[in-house]
Amino acid sequence: MSVISTSSGRVRGEIVDGIHRFRSVPYAAAPEGALRFAKPQPSTWDGERDATQRGPIAPQTVHKLPGLDLGAILGGDSPQGGDFLTVDVHSPDPSAGGLPVMVFIHGGAFVYGTGSAAVYDGMAFARRGVVLVTINYRLGIDGFLPLHGGDTNLGLRDQIAALHWVRDNASAFGGDPDNVTVFGESAGGMSIACLLGSPLARGLFRRAIVESGHPDMVRAPENARLLVDKVAERLGVPATAEAFRQLSTQQLQEAQTAVTTPGQGPDLRDGNGFDPGYAFAPFLPVLGDDVLPTNARENLNPDVDLITGHNAEEMRLYFAPSGLIDVITDQQALGILGATRSDAAEILARYGLGEKPTGEVFIAAMTDLVFADGARRLAEEHPGQAHRYRFDWRSPQFDGRLGACHGLELPFVFDTLPSAEALVGTQPPPELAKEMNAAWVRFAETGDPGWETGVVRSFGEISGS
């Protein structure tokens, strides 16, 4: 048993293989009742709170990919509930003091996921001397729908509230509040890229690792309003926070599922014919408030050291398991990209459409457009120190067609390969996991991950076996 006094109250965790583990510790009050669609508020309790069991995760509906079980990454089989604004903490020694702190923000297209998923287990980081924190935050309608009369960017506000909690309580778990590294993947990486330019996040972290993310997956208020109106129309209520507070979680989830289903949501392209969510992520951070006054690129914090990168074949995750990569036609590729880019034909032509296999052209183009180009630009434009990486190891799953897909680096970063067999297969290279985990820790400790700025560090230049 391990008992810690935090700014919110006392928590009782457990010691597992020498690591102190605390689960589902609230960093903010449950966003229910009057707190629904409102800024996060502090949570306090009397007595000693049990932090040995998994708690609820944010309300969500997991979108399953054909033939691929992503439960280890999404954690969607966990119970859902209202008191989910929590953190999990792994500490090597709460009495140590001065340990680097790493805070992970999960992905999931801003509509699903949890920091308590098995693949994000913090044991490997803690064994290397890090206080590892994973967080939950509001998703979908609850977190990223700017309703009239409600606070905006609530998911990002939750993340900022969690970082305030970490700063206030890091020392209680043995960590250094002045040496916090945030890292996240996909929607988590996009979130961190936004926080790099948010005035409300200044001073809350010293370093950042953005995996498959960048600050451009955000919406202008006028485009976000189209989504607000569509959801309200679907629910048959005014587009106000007060009206939405009267609805059940199930009602909101059903509406959310409907508008995220291809062909059922609104056209969210801007005046230039561009949808920053590429039609698969309607719920995004919104510009124009105190969290994101402008695109984060215009206000990147020069005092934050950065690692940013992506996987070599990101989009294979979405098109290889279903077999679509093998049968997609030129017209289908043009239609999918054309729904979000007015220059789709020109783009695909540059990648060899009509000369190379359509599936390969489509994957290469979409990987660059959705992930790689933004990551490169973020590194180039960051006014502080910036390192780049690319994850190249190819999964053997689906006869090798899964490749170096989106999210594949996560069980390597966390050194949790057994939790992600559906992604990595039965014989992934454990030495690559140890290499990546060590590099992330070294960066958190010193700001130097082990390779120079100005070069792209490749991880896993071998084939899956």
* Catalytically active residues, by annotation: 186, 314, 406
Neighbours of 373 (CB within 10 A): 14
DSSP secondary-structure letter at 457?
E
**In the structure encoding, which two tokens stand for residue 195, read together?**
């926080």
Q: Is 360 helix (H, G, I), strand (E, B) or coil?
A: helix
Residue 85, burial from CB neighbour count under 10 angstroms (0-12, 13-18, 19+): buried
DSSP letter for each residue of 154-221: HHHHHHHHHHHHHHHHGGGGTEEEEEEEEEEETHHHHHHHHHTT-GGGTTS-SEEEEES--TT--B-H
State in Å, rounded, how far the first CA of the chain is from the last one.
41
Please choose, from the candidates 379, 416, 391, the residue with its C-alpha nearest in 3D space to the C-alpha of residue 312: 391
Report the alpha-carbon angle 86-61-73, nearest 5.
60
Alpha helices in 368-409 (DSSP H): 373-381
The DSSP bridge partners found for residue 403 are 395
Calculate the dihedral angle through the C-alpha atoms of 423, 426, 431, 432, rounding to the nearest 10 degrees.
Answer: -20
Provide CB contacts within 8 A for 48, sequence distance 6+. Answer: 3, 9, 10, 11, 12
